[in-house]
Amino acid sequence: MRFVVFVSAWVLGVAMLFVSHTPGMAQSARSDGAVFQKIIKGQMSAFARGDADAAFSFATPDIQRQFQTSDVFMKMVKQGYQPVYRPKDVTFGTSKVTSRGPVQEVFVTGPKGGSWLALYSFEQHGDGTWRISGCYLTKSSGFAA
């Protein structure tokens, strides 16, 4: 129960990232869109291989501290994020900027079908690298054209 409450609070917090946009950072998000896509593909590839350590390595240090181990992180992803854990199809949308940083849209078809929108948020580190700071997953009526 405590784990479910924590994950629910975390998902709600991540959802709040997507409320407002910061125009000054829009160009940066567009130019880093290919980088974001590569990171997401890398993590999805790690999920497909069952490589918890590699998948966990794409997360920010804050997320790593919250989940403590790659096994706990992988369990959370398997339970709550099946469409990105085992997608049948992945299509990248646009990169956007929020008040807390850039977001990459990802349209996925889940393992049992159904369309989903995953909004991945990113955080840039002092060395210039990006890591995934969150993923907000919601059922979608279909993919954007």
Closest CA to 123 of 114, 115, 134, 136: 134
Q: Tell me what the mean pLDDT of segment 54-69 comes to.
A: 97
Domain membership of residue 145 (yes or no) is no
CATH number of the domain bearing residue 27: 3.10.450.630
Task: Return d(Cα 91, Cα 127) in angstroms, integer.
Answer: 29
Two tokens, residue 83: 């469409």
Domain membership of residue 97 (yes or no) is yes
pLDDT at position 31: 59
Q: State pLDDT tens for residues 70-86.
A: 999 999 999 999 999 99
Q: For residue 84, what are the domain limits? A: 2-140
| Contact by Cβ (8 Å): 83, 109 | yes
Domain membership of residue 104 (yes or no) is yes
Say how many domains are in the chain: 1
Domain membership of residue 80 (yes or no) is yes
Two tokens, residue 60: 């920010």
Domain membership of residue 61 (yes or no) is yes
Domain membership of residue 120 (yes or no) is yes
* Reported confidence tier of residue 33, pLDDT bands at 50, 70, 90: confident
| DSSP 8-state symbol, 59 | B
Closest CA to 134 of 110, 102, 109, 112: 102
| Contact by Cβ (8 Å): 73, 56 | yes
**pTM, full prediction:** 0.77
